[in-house]
Amino acid sequence: MKKIPVTIKLRLLCLMNSLILILLWGRHVLGNDPQKLHFLLNWRWLSAITISYLGLMTLPWVIKRLSHSQFDWIKVLSNLALGWFIYSGLFLVVPEWFGQGALWWLGPLYSGVGVIMMDVPRNAYIGFRVIWTYSSSTIWHRVNYLAGWLMLLGGVILFMINTLWPILLLPIGVLVTVIALGIPFIQAYLLALLER
CB 86 within 8 A of CB 156: yes
What is the domain extent for residue 37? 1-95
Residues 76 and 125 in one domain: no
Residues 89 and 112 in one domain: no
Give the rounded distance of the alpha carbon of 142 from its chain centre. 17
Report the distance separating Cα 61 and Cα 174, nearest Å. 34
Residue ending a domain, choose from 77, 95, 113: 95
Residues 104 and 196 in one domain: yes
Count Cα neighbours of 83 within 13 Å in the Cβ-side half-sphere: 30
CB 126 within 8 A of CB 113: yes
DSSP state of 2: P
Q: What is the pTM of this model?
A: 0.81
Q: What is the pLDDT of residue 47?
A: 81
Q: What is the pLDDT of residue 124?
A: 76
pLDDT in 10s for each residue of the chain, 196 residues: 456 666 788 888 888 888 888 887 777 666 666 555 555 667 777 787 888 888 877 777 777 666 666 777 778 888 888 888 898 888 878 877 777 777 888 888 899 889 888 888 887 778 888 889 888 889 999 999 999 999 999 999 999 998 888 889 899 999 999 999 999 999 999 999 998 7
Report the distance separating Cα 174 and Cα 13, nearest Å. 31
Residues 129 and 61 in one domain: no
Residues 119 and 86 in one domain: no
Helix axes 8-30, 73-93, angle to 10 degrees: 40
Q: Which residues, other chains included, contact 103 with Cβ-Cβ below 8 Å and sequence gap of 6+?
A: 162, 166, 169
Q: What is the pLDDT of residue 32?
A: 64
Residues 39 and 80 in one domain: yes
| Alpha helices (H) in the chain, listed in sequence order | 8-30, 43-66, 73-93, 106-117, 131-135, 137-164, 169-195
Q: Residue 110: which of 30, 180, 187 has the closest Cα? A: 180
Residues 113 and 91 in one domain: no
Q: What is the pLDDT of residue 35?
A: 58
Residue ending a domain, choose from 50, 69, 95: 95
Residues 191 and 104 in one domain: yes
Residues 71 and 105 in one domain: no
Residue ending a domain, choose from 95, 118, 149: 95
Residues 69 and 129 in one domain: no
Report the distance separating Cα 189 and Cα 196, nearest Å. 11
Domain count, the chain: 2
Residues 161 and 183 in one domain: yes
CB 119 within 8 A of CB 75: yes
Residues 116 and 194 in one domain: yes
DSSP state of 125: S
